[in-house]
Amino acid sequence: MKDQFGIKESLNNLGLKDENPGSSTGQKWIDSKTEYFASMSPADGAVIGKVQVADEKTYETIIAQAQKAFETWRNVPAPQRGEIVREIGNALREKKADLGKLVSYEMGKSYQEGLGEVQEMIDICDFAVGLSRQLYGLTMHSERPGHRMYEQWHPLGIVGIISAFNFPVAVWSWNAALAWVCGDVCVWKPSEKAPLSGVACQLIAAEVFAKHNMPEGISCLINGDYKVGELLSHDKRVPLVSATGSTRMGKLVGKAVGERLGRSLLELGGNNAIIITENADMEIAIRGSLFGAVGTAGQRCTSTRRLIIHSSIYETVKTRLAAAYSKLVIGNPLDEKNHVGPVIDQAAVDMYLAAIEKAKAEGAKAVVDGGVLTGEGYESGCYVKPAIFEAENHYEIVQHETFAPILYLIKYDTIAEAIELQNGVPQGLSSAIMTLKMREAEAFLAVSGSDCGIANVNIGTSGAEIGGAFGGEKETGGGRESGSDAWKAYMRRQTNTINYSTALPLAQGIKFDI
């Protein structure tokens, strides 16, 4: 491993080794006595470390411990649970630089984006602290004299979390921080493409729980492949499975959880568009489109895949974007002078190349052509050129999400047509419109406007804040995480009626006298 940017020191500061156990109930790590799989950096192709693969016996050990921990944790007052989560947030602050560097090196996003991801974790911990004193129910008037009605919220139990490689730590924290203050315990399966980031987070959280003499099992980690996800999805002891990833994966999880009448919280694919009207602020439109398309090398679920541009400014936008792309610096994500890092692995490269070939076969015309970068600094083989194509919305390749920096330009004439194009894909995660005209903005946000879970005006499709609920519709899965009232997904609602009278009247005036 080349260590130009001090990654070895960061790994040491995070407590990571060359070979790491892969499953934990807290500070207790479990030897599965199975094989290891390697975490390989797409930045330089080096093996960062190895993580032990969990077997079914290990899974059973972890679930049993989580069940036991829930019996204690659910009875800890919510504000006290919030205090522990606050301290986890502080521990993340102390490790922000090292963890951000690991995220960048293991996943391939720029160091600034790695730091931003850790900041998201800190922010959701802060949000959860306040939430721990705001798990509000309602009071209702009863139709029966001498009766009182109210509702309250109780924790569910074990929350299974399946996260994706592109946000290897933040999405876990969105779920875990809320679940913990709600009184749940968590079993986390990180992406097998970024397992060390998961191990590092588990070490940080476990230390805080142990400091407060909390039982093993509140924060659990289990590293493995899709088989672990299948175990969580089919397990009746796991009332909620929160899964982030492809639509294909989400359909499998949703079906398995649904068949046992469990709950699933699905955050799946996006095929996000920005509408650029003739009334747009061009500087904001170009900047928002550029980061949305190439940030994280196009590997965000909220990445901008389509630009729907008014015909009167189409050529101007195309020319300016091409000029901006020519200035992008592609290279090691830990080098802060670089704008774009690598895609995650060779499979992602192959998918990128296949998408370009498919786009051209369907008639797309290259504005900025793609390709794989070679030579010094690109030895991992995972660096690709962000590409732009002129296309039609109905092209099959445009209808699908390609997790790579490929942007399609599409022309429109009326705002109604633009909204129809925006909505004319199977996915419904994030959307945006660039306009200074109020009527266009309001039409986009109206009930007949964007059909996505996120609809922005004069900002891009990516870069969500934790204060708002995050998620999408259609093939994006319908789940909501992070802010607003997303906490309700992690709890069960209970309605209570109390009779403080000396009689027993029945509802709806029913008489049942003996």
Residues carrying an active site annotation: 267, 301
CA separation (Å) from 218 to 82, 88, 186, 338?
14, 13, 6, 39
Tokens coding 230:
């299948």
Please choose, from the candidates 373, 361, 408, the residue with its C-alpha nearest in 3D space to the C-alpha of residue 387: 408
Tokens coding 159:
């929350």
How many CB atoms lie under 10 A from the CB of residue 190?
A: 29
Q: How far apart are CA 463 and CA 240, in angstroms?
A: 26
DSSP label at residue 507: G
- Helix (H, G, I), strand (E, B), or coil: what is residue 191? coil
53-92 burial, b if ≥16 CB within 10 A, otherwise e?
A: bbbeebbebbbebbeebbeebbebebeebbebbbbbbebb
Which own/partner contact pairs does 233-237 have at CB distance under 8 Å and 24+ positions apart? 233/160, 233/257, 234/260, 235/63, 235/160, 236/260, 236/262, 237/63, 237/67, 237/157, 237/158
Beta bridge partners of 498: 148
Q: How far apart are CA 452 and CA 480, in angstroms?
A: 12
DSSP label at residue 304: E
Q: Is the CB of residue 242 less than 8 Å from the CB of residue 265?
A: yes
- How would you class 130 by CB atoms within 10 Å of its CB: exposed for 0-12, middle for 13-18, buried for 19 or more? exposed
Q: How far apart are CA 335 and CA 356, in angstroms?
A: 28
Please choose, from the candidates 189, 199, 172, 205, the residue with its C-alpha nearest in 3D space to the C-alpha of residue 19: 199
